[in-house]
Chains A and B, each alone.
Chain A
Amino acid sequence: MVTVLIAILLPFVCAALIPLLYRRLRRVTHLGWFVLSVPFILFLLLARYIPQLAEGKTFIHTYEWIPSFNINFTTYLDGLSMIFGLLITGVGSLVILYSIFYLSTKESLHHFYCYLLLFMGAMLGVVFSDNLMVLYTFWELTSVSSFLLIAFWHHRKASRAGAKKAMMITVFGGLSMLAGFLMLYVASHTFSIREIVANVEVIRDHTLFTPALILILLGAFTKSAQFPFHIWLPDAMEAPTPVSAYLHSATMVKAGIYLVARFSPVFGGEAVWFWLVSVIGLVTLFWGSFNAVRQTDLKALLAFSTVSQLGLIMSLFGLGSVGHYYGYEENSILYTQASFAALFHLVNHSTFKGALFMMVGIVDHEVGTRDIRRLGGLMSFMPITFTIAVIGSFSMAGLPPFNGFLSKEMFFAAVLAIRDVEAFSIADIGLFFPIVAWVASIFTFVYSLILISRTFLGKLQPEKIDKKPHEAPLGMLISPIILCLLVVGIFFFPNILGHYILEPAMASIYPTFPTTSELTPHIHAWHGINAELLMTVGVIIIGIILFKTLKSWKPLYRLFSQKYTFNTYYNRMIEMSENGSQKLTNKYMTGNLTHYFVYIYVFFVALIAGYFVWSDAMTFNFDKDSAIESYELILVFVMIFAAVWMIFAKGRVTAMLLNGVLGYSIAFFFVIFRAPDLALTQLVVESVTTALFLLCFKYLPDLMPELPRKRVQWSKALISIFVGATVTIVGLAVVHYDRFEPVATYFNDAYELAGGSNIVNTILGDFRAFDTMLEVVVLLIAGLGVYALTKLKPRKEEADHEN
């Protein structure tokens, strides 16, 4: 099963190649032509497996990665991942083709296509990975590449803000999903989704099962922009339109839906799952379509419409999960048709919404604005674009003869069927589902009409637009035309799609069912006059009435105060956390070196002295001390006297001379303690240091009396005494430590080993010669530093004022 591995790796390899190819290709042609080949080849490679999958086969292959942690690179190709694989590569090809004409060669294309390929690889990785950890890695990679793509025009403030928002929300969800995955691992001892599905009976009783369910759903909901996390998607529209068409309508936002579909066999029978997925989905459906109506930016309108449609698909999967509760039985199709409709609408949505995004991109590109208050009357100038808009919008609104009609009807059928389900006490609020679905569909119809009429009908307002409108170049039209052909084609031949693509995916969602061919309804455009059709007719009639009276009820939106939107809550939360962390940081990062020293010392004392006290290591043994001579005692007192005087020294020369006293006294000690080499070195170094101090005093200011408050002085004194005491205590406790043989005896053979009779010298020059060499390097660096600091001057005056 190398194909799947290639599918995941090829985009990454090509993304890595782009920086190399970019310089060569930029003079010859648009970089996009090279990039286009990647998804196109992958699409063909994957499409070869469609017939085999339709026969019920699945393909799995494991590449060992970190077997000790149960993390293997397992690729899994089944019906569900196939749908997504085809969407990612298929829509990807069309989007890249479109982007070739949308983005001029003056843009930094190498960045754009690098990120786009990165995203493509990550997304394919998400859908083809069987291992949860690998899936998670790719999942976060899609967030990162989405961040980079939204901020592609990073000179715009709105782009950066939108990218940050998308990143914050999706990564927050991703992290909770990771926690959910780990909980599943604790319950099941495996990271493999297939094995989890196979052992679901055992896992279900684990206490972590429900927390894992909720956390994983949080990941899915944030990624798929479900209410109330939908707020990132409209802001993500700052991305170039090809990105919006690709990531934020066709693929990445569907990753959450993929996750829900993939985990349906695990969590499907749970009441929590049913209620969360279906109700949140329905609320999102309603809220998205309700808000889309009031948008004035075409892309914002499409963003809310995407939010709404994602909610629709989500809720369908929620309804379909009832099938897991009942297991396989004769009338399972009553519930499973919801999942089927979800898959069907997933594909349909990608086709018509992709076309619509590309249409909006064309309008933006050729007219210079996408504000519907400035647009209008473009029909005669852009007839082909208009046709695309009509096909896409009508499909979105659920009108025949477009594929949206079929899936919308199935959606109605599913919400109607759920009324009679006894499980989870759904029947109590059974009417809730069809009513919300119906109302949301009316708003969908209204904004679809707004999309067409405000852009293409009415009067042209030439004074409000910058460019003279004209039809887009053919290259830009190819991709949306192909998508529109699919929109119409799927309507007329839905069962080809149903049999080859959707049916194998049904088997992935209901793996425990013996057969799924009975679960896939035969799709009819006409099934007599029934409730669904009447609902559609109602949607059309009321939708037209609402559209005609739009002006009179639009003030209704003002009832929703701007103070209480989710965006304000999000902004306030971000602001609070930023301010809070800044305040906290400013509290201790004062920019004052003295404070930092205080932290270091307090930590030192607390850790070392604290551990000594805690571990009861303070055992002192004075028996082995050697004797003290009177002249040594005098020397000690001289040093103590000099040291303490240093603190109170008024002048710098006094302080420096006292330092000299300390240095020379230590030289005396070195003599007493049988270290003649040290004594010699110390004498030389102390003399040179004193000279250096004197030399620098010429340029340095004299000591100022320290004049801080008494309290500060005392706390400093206290810290100093504690530090000194800690060193003494530790020293006393370890000085006669004799549990190990001293290594010093080894050096007693210095004459044989190194040919020298001065042991200290042989250590420095032979045994530890590398140390000495590095010591010389330190001297050299210090010398260079001294030279640079004294001799070099900033080249220009400005160098001092870089701020």
Chain B
Amino acid sequence: MESLILVLVGILVAVATYLILSKQLLRVILGTAVLSHAAHLLILTMGGLKKGDVPLLGESEGPYTDALPQALILTAIVISFAVTAFVLVLGYRAYKTNGSGNFDELRGTPDE
């Protein structure tokens, strides 16, 4: 299972990289969202998959699955949401100010 998920993570990362390398702001934002999905899966996989019970004391006898990656991911989900929201609004503002969402047209003056 772990190997399979890691291959999936690799594919997600590759897709995210491809999106980030594109010239349109919206694709880049989508790319970061995919990248955070990949990162969450990667962290979870590192703790081992399906190796124990749900980490709720009293619900089962254990052993419990590793709870630390889960806590990390919980924080990461919220932060990636915040970042996605901010970047989206940044893209909106950049488009409104400059009239373009294309990096080729957002390069500033050539002599700077």
User: Which residues on A are within 8 Å of B, measured CB to CB?
Assistant: 591-594, 597-598, 601, 620, 622, 624-628, 632-633, 636, 639-640, 643-644, 646-647, 652, 655-656, 659, 662-663, 666, 669-670, 672-678, 681-682, 685, 688-689, 692-693, 696, 699-701, 703-704, 706, 708, 716-717, 719-721, 723-725, 727-728, 731-732, 734-736, 742-744, 747-748, 750-751, 757-760, 763-764, 768, 771-772, 775, 778-779, 782-783, 785-786, 789-790, 800, 803
Q: How far is the CA of A782 from the CA of B24 in the complex (A)?
A: 22
* Best-surrounded residue of A640, A646, A652 (most CB of chain B within 10 A): A646
Do the beta carbons of B22 and A758 come within 8 Å of each other? no
| A678 and B15 contacting across the interface, CB-CB below 8 Å | no
Q: In the complex the two chains form, what is the Cα distance from A601 to B86 in whole Å? A: 23
Point out the residue from A632, A672, A759 that lies within 8 Å of B67, measured CB to CB.
Answer: A759
Q: Which of B1-38 contact A (CB under 8 A)?
A: 1-15, 17-24, 26-28, 30, 33-34, 37-38
CA of A744 to CA of B4 in the docked complex: distance in angstroms?
24
Q: Are A677 and B26 CB-contacts (below 8 A) given A735-B45, A759-B57?
A: no
- Contact yes or no, A626 B1, CB < 8 A: yes
User: A800 contacts B97, CB within 8 Å?
Assistant: yes
Structural contact, B21 and A636, CB atoms closer than 8 A: no
Whether the Cβ atoms of B15 and A720 lie closer than 8 Å is yes
Report the nearest B residue to A772, measured CB to CB: B75
B41–A666 touching, CB < 8 Å: yes
| A625 lies within 8 A of B3 (CB) | yes
B102 to chain A, nearest CB (A): 7
Complex Cα–Cα for A742 and B74 (A): 19
Q: Which residues of B are found within 8 Å of A717, using beta-carbon distances?
A: 18
Smallest distance from the beta carbon of A154 to chain B beta carbons, Å? Answer: 23
Q: Is B8 a contact of A626 with CB atoms below 8 Å?
A: no
Given the known inter-chain contacts A592-B103, A699-B95, A790-B92, please indicate yes or no for A706 contacting B12, CB distance below 8 A.
Answer: no
> Smallest distance from the beta carbon of A768 to chain B beta carbons, Å?
7
27 residue pairs from A and B, CB less than 8 Å apart: A592-B103, A593-B106, A601-B21, A655-B30, A659-B30, A674-B53, A674-B55, A675-B70, A682-B77, A688-B81, A689-B85, A700-B91, A703-B24, A703-B26, A706-B22, A706-B27, A708-B23, A723-B17, A724-B14, A727-B13, A735-B2, A735-B3, A760-B55, A763-B68, A782-B83, A790-B89, A800-B97
A601 to B13, CA, bound (A): 11
- Closest CB-CB distance, B62 to chain A, in whole Å? 7
Residues of B contacting A666 with CB < 8 Å?
Answer: 37, 40-41
Given A598-B21, A728-B13, A731-B9, 17 more contacts at CB 8 Å? Answer: A592-B103, A594-B103, A659-B34, A669-B5, A670-B44, A674-B54, A692-B88, A693-B88, A706-B22, A723-B13, A724-B15, A731-B6, A747-B55, A747-B67, A748-B62, A758-B55, A759-B64
Q: Which residues on the B side are within 8 Å of A681 (C-beta)?
A: 74, 77-78
- Quick check: B46 and A643 within 8 Å, CB to CB? no
- Complex CA–CA separation, A594 to B3 (angstroms): 31
8 pairs of A and B residues whose beta carbons are closest in the complex? A724-B14, A728-B10, A782-B82, A757-B57, A763-B71, A759-B55, A759-B67, A720-B18
Closest to A656 in B: B30
The complex places the Cα of A549 from the Cα of B82 at a distance, in Å, of 85
Indicate whether A646 sits within 8 Å of B10 (C-beta atoms), given known contacts A706-B24, A759-B56, A775-B75: no
Minimum CB–CB distance from B38 to chain A (whole Å) comes to 8
Q: Given that A673-B65, A723-B13, A724-B13 are known contacts, is A700 also in contact with B95, CB under 8 Å in the complex?
A: yes
Determine the distance from Cα of A727 to Cα of B70 in the docked complex, in whole angstroms: 20
B106 nearest in chain A by CB position: A593
